[in-house]
Amino acid sequence: MAAVQMGLAGRVLTALLLVVATGVVTAWLVASSVAPGLFHRHMLQAGESAAHGEAIAHAELAFRSASRLSLAVAMTAALVASVAVSLYLTRRLARSLLPLTVAATDVADGRYAVRVGRPGLGAELDGLADAFNRMAGELQRVEETRRRLLDDLAHEVRTPVATLGAYLEALEDGVRVVDAETLEVMRAQADRLTRLAQDVSSVSRAEEGYRSLDARPLPPVELLDGAVSLAAGNYRGKGVALTAEVAPDLPAVSVDRDRMGQVLGNLLDNALRYTPAGGHVIVSAGRRGTGLRITVTDDGEGIPAEHLAHLFERFYRVDSARDRGHGGSGIGLAIVKALVEAHGGRVHATSDGPGRGAAFTVDLPLR
């Protein structure tokens, strides 16, 4: 028969009882060996004047009996009290750890919404409960992200795959021939699938970006100048003006240069996509309370008010203007949101309506 494994409460109780028993035995041995000698010495000193040897012997016997009896009663009472306290503590410890055990089982079974309360038995166990809740919350967020991503992918992949399938079937049936137009359509759908895969990979890395941020102090003027330099060629090619405006004496901001450069690059690409030739895009930086505010403003197509709250959702597009016809996958702004939040900031969009341009604002903490 396999040995029964002792639980944590049983181990704690055993350890406490061992400590109590050791204390009881030690006290008994010390009292039994020290007390009679001391008592005998005092009685001899008193006997120098009384000289009653038999009385001394009788008193020593009485002392031994009384001390042993009193020690026995005291140790028994102490043992009972210690066991009672030990049982209370171990049962409370077991009751406090049981919810954590049940919750851990739930998480192992994929139920990430479970949370546990603080047991109130010290900073260590409270910290363990807090760490468990953070872990469960992170697992829940990752699982929700995975499910949304799969749903989005199923929706986005459906159109190009259906188009490719229809063209292949038409080629097999002889309805279409392999000409330049057919190849162009099929190549465009294949490119769309490739771009979709790349964008999904980018947004997944961005949403986990806080794990690998290499944040260092960086002057805002360097951040904006770098983004403008990279985007300048595309802007010139389309005939859109791009300027940077940086307020003087701005303090350095703690950011990951590459990832925040990706944020500004996506915002500038987005502004260029919806700004016609002859338009103007301004990227500016200035103080906003105790933080830094970076704004990318364009005078392009604008955004209807009902769509502003959804712009940073993955694969979301505004049907009237910001649609697939502009070549976007609907992921660029989701990447922006994920990276900005990984830096402890927030991003939002404003627009006065269609045809009146738009502004995308990034607020970052200065620390």
More confident site: 135 or 35: 135
| DSSP states along 191-226 | HHHHHHHHHHHHHHHHHTGGGS---EEE-HHHHHHH
Spell out the residues 6+ positions from residue 260 whose beta carbon is closer than 8 angstroms to its own.
218, 223, 339, 343
Tell me what pLDDT residue 40 has.
Answer: 58
Whether the pLDDT of residue 116 is over 60: the answer is: yes
More confident site: 330 or 295: 295
- Beta partners for 358? 298
C-alpha torsion angle, residues 120, 126, 128, 129 (rounded to 10): 80
Query: What are the pLDDT digits (tens) for 290-304?
Result: 899 999 999 988 888
Spell out the residues 6+ positions from residue 367 whose beta carbon is closer than 8 angstroms to its own.
254
What is the spatial distance between Cα 177 and Cα 7, in angstroms, rounded to a whole number?
Answer: 75
Average pLDDT in the 62-90 region?
Answer: 68
Whether the pLDDT of residue 287 is over 80: the answer is: yes
What is the spatial distance between Cα 142 and Cα 148, in angstroms, rounded to a whole number?
Answer: 10
Tell me what pLDDT residue 51 has.
Answer: 47
Tell me what pLDDT residue 73 has.
Answer: 67
Tell me what pLDDT residue 1 has.
Answer: 38
Average pLDDT in the 120-133 region?
Answer: 78
Buried b (16+ CB within 10 A) or exposed e, 36-59: eeebbeebeeeeeeeeeeeebeeb
Query: What are the pLDDT digits (tens) for 176-229?
Result: 888 888 888 888 888 878 877 776 776 666 665 555 678 899 999 999 999 999
Tell me what pLDDT residue 361 has.
Answer: 96
Nearest of 361, 188, 352 to residue 283 by alpha carbon: 361
Whether the pLDDT of residue 322 is over 50: the answer is: no
Most confident of 58-67, 110-119, 272-281, 311-320: 272-281
190: its two tokens: 């294949």
Whole-number mean pLDDT of the chain?
77
Tell me what pLDDT residue 38 has.
Answer: 56
What is the spatial distance between Cα 214 and Cα 256, in angstroms, rounded to a whole number?
Answer: 5
Whether the pLDDT of residue 244 is over 90: the answer is: yes
Whether the pLDDT of residue 282 is over 80: the answer is: yes
Tell me what pLDDT residue 324 has.
Answer: 46
Domain spans, the chain: 8-108, 142-207, 214-365
End-to-end CA distance of the chain: 63
Query: What are the pLDDT digits (tens) for 10-25?
Result: 666 676 777 777 766 6
Architecture of 214-365 per CATH? 2-Layer Sandwich (3.30)
In the block, tokens 């699982």 appear at 143
Tell me what pLDDT residue 3 has.
Answer: 41
Domain boundaries 142-207, corresponding CATH code: 1.10.287.130
- Beta partners for 123? none
In the chain, the percentage of residues whose pLDDT exceeds 90 is 19
Range list of H helices, the chain? 8-50, 53-108, 123-173, 180-207, 220-238, 257-273, 332-342
Average pLDDT in the 237-260 region?
Answer: 91
Average pLDDT in the 344-365 region?
Answer: 92
Work out the pLDDT band at 323, boundaries 50, 70, 90: very low
Tell me what pLDDT residue 221 has.
Answer: 92
Average pLDDT in the 25-54 region?
Answer: 57
Backbone angles phi, psi at 75, to 5 degrees: -65, -40
